[in-house]
Amino acid sequence: MDDCIFCKIANGVIPSATVYEDEEFRAFLDLGPASKGHTLIVPKKHAKDVTELDQETAGKALVLAGKIGEAMKKGLGCTGFNVVANTGVSAGQTIFHFHMHVIPRYDDGEKIVEWVPGSNTDEERAEILDAIRSAL
């Protein structure tokens, strides 16, 4: 993908503040951090989003997120972290090369990923189940 900025960063064509690198992944600091230490985990092989990942890459990315999050707790003093993969424009994805945000959370910091809990009826839940299950 010649015009993909995360292909270029992940493969070292464009420099980045690299937290971790191996043959398949690069993890680097987000340029617009939601909190101190906000890191992106990016596979070197292009996939537009989570729907294009193979099982091995997806599994390794999630394990790596856990390792980096633990390192953030030890190294930065955060007490938790969010692991987020925005998928699609409506979900806030702006770069269409799969990446996982690892966002450190601090006891005195604001909540970054939250929503107001909604509700639904038994009928609505049944319809929703049918819609998702029949499309799997």
Known catalytic residues are 99
Q: How far is the CB of 88 from ligand AMP (least distance, A)?
A: 10
Report which of 14, 35, 4 is spatially closest to residue 98, judged by C-alpha positions.
4
Using rule CB under 6 A, residue 112 touches ligand AMP: no
Q: Residue 42: what are its φ and ψ, rounded to 5°?
A: -130, 125
Query: Which of the residues 7 through 26 are near ligand AMP (CB under 6 A)?
Result: 16
Instruction: Specify burial of residue 65 (Cβ count, 10 A radius: 0-12, 13-18, 19+).
Output: buried
Of 92, 110, 134, 136, the residue at the interface with ligand AMP (CB under 6 A) is: 92
Q: Which residues bind ligand AMP (CB under 6 A)?
A: 5, 16, 30-32, 40, 86, 92-95
